[in-house]
Amino acid sequence: RGDVETIPLQLALEFRYADDASESDDCLRRLSSGGGGGGSTRHGAASALASVSAEAFKAALPCPPAPASGPVKLIVAEVSKELMFVGGRYRKLCRRLPQTPWILDGERRMDTSVEELISPAIVRLAKADSASFASAGREDVDVRMLGRGRPFLLRLLNPRVARLTAAETAALQAEINAADDRVQVSHLCQVNRAHCEALRAGESEKVKCYSALCRCTGGPPITAEDAGKLSGLAASGLVLEQSTPVRVLHRRTVAVRKRRILSLNLEPLPPDAADAGRLFRLRLRTEAGAYVKEFVHGDLGRTRPSLGELLGEGRQCDLLLLDVVDVELDWPHVGGDAAADSKADLKADPDADLKVDPVSDPDADLKVDPDADLKVDPDADLKVDSDVNL
């Protein structure tokens, strides 16, 4: 019937019999190069089969296989819907919020997260069992995500709703944005697997833009000549060599990564500001994976050159505040009313209660009190445990 929407279903059947474990292990040993195999798991079987040609498979195993040596039992039969994907962009407007639940040594840190402020309403509307959250990178707990926001994706497991309309996603977006002023979403829409692949492919190619408030703690004050020198270095091609930062050594492989700084702009604060000539604003564009915090302070010599080394004359720099002001990845690709609704919502100034307009002026917060975060906990960054490449 033309008025009935079809819903693709997945049927999962699990059969077992007495010798299935030994036979599958033997099968994987024959197929795997080196004889190691991946074990009797779905991942092990997929890994073994992915690299084997049809000819090699027939040479290693009887085709067709021998009949089962005993009765075959149906253990599990599950019917579920195919995954539903919902994408959008989020802005994080505070400096004490992790992207995902922060569990450290089995203990919950902070009351909620970006994921938990976005996901529940979408899971409820789609009538899904659960959802997994993914995004184009992540920012640290004490770093805001401003501008257009960061692309994110929700994979909804077993949704009972076939499709989300533009009106439904617009209402859902408004609901999420009204619930908590720490996180705002835009461009919310249902996407497909091709969009998911585009997000994954863009992960390593995206460019990120930052605005940082910094302090020069050694050497002479910062001058306009210093600013011009830095801009010229970036324009001619500035490549950083960054060893795995100290703050993530406990969970990251030790390696030296080369990342490019694409543009660099240093702006000394006005002469009448506190610490004139010492405080400055840094705006930069970088390749994905660059550690901006470590570029500023040098990370005990693990990032070369550091900002202080580039400025010269014995200068050292500290980072006080950091914002991501853009993730240059055109995702999700939406059209029609959904795109118009999302753009209208972005311009509605959801930050009015914060007395900050991060879209038109990403540095507004930096002008209020450059030492505000330092009064809370100067070592907060050392305690952060999130997988961010800043």
Active site residues: 140
C-alpha to C-alpha distances, 323 to 3, 192, 284, 285, 329, nearest whole angstrom: 49, 31, 11, 12, 17
- Torsion, CA 137, CA 143, CA 147, CA 152, rounded to 10: 30
* Spatial distance between the Cα atoms of 104 and 126, rounded to a whole number of angstroms: 31
Q: How far is CA 186 from the centre of its chain?
A: 16
* Spatial distance between the Cα atoms of 272 and 329, rounded to a whole number of angstroms: 38
* Spatial distance between the Cα atoms of 390 and 380, rounded to a whole number of angstroms: 15
- Residue type (1 letter), 309: E
Instruction: Determine the Cα angle at 370 with ends 366 and 374, to 5°.
Output: 130
Helix (H, G, I), strand (E, B) or coil at 337: helix
Q: How far is CA 370 from the centre of its chain?
A: 27
- Residue type (1 letter), 303: T
Three-state DSSP string of 199-264: HHHHCCCCEEEEEEEEEECCCCCCCHHHHHHHHHHHHCCEEEEEECCHHHCCCCCCCEEEEEEEEE
- Residue type (1 letter), 213: L
DSSP code for 5 = -
Instruction: Mention every residue, 6+ apart, whose C-beta is less than 8 A from residue 360.
Output: none
* N- to C-terminal Cα separation, the chain: 53
* Spatial distance between the Cα atoms of 208 and 295, rounded to a whole number of angstroms: 14
Cβ(114)–Cβ(183) below 8 Å? yes
Helix (H, G, I), strand (E, B) or coil at 273: coil
> 337's torsion region: left (phi>0), alpha (psi -120 to 50) or beta?
alpha
Cα–Cα nearest to 364, from 147, 134, 115, 138? 147
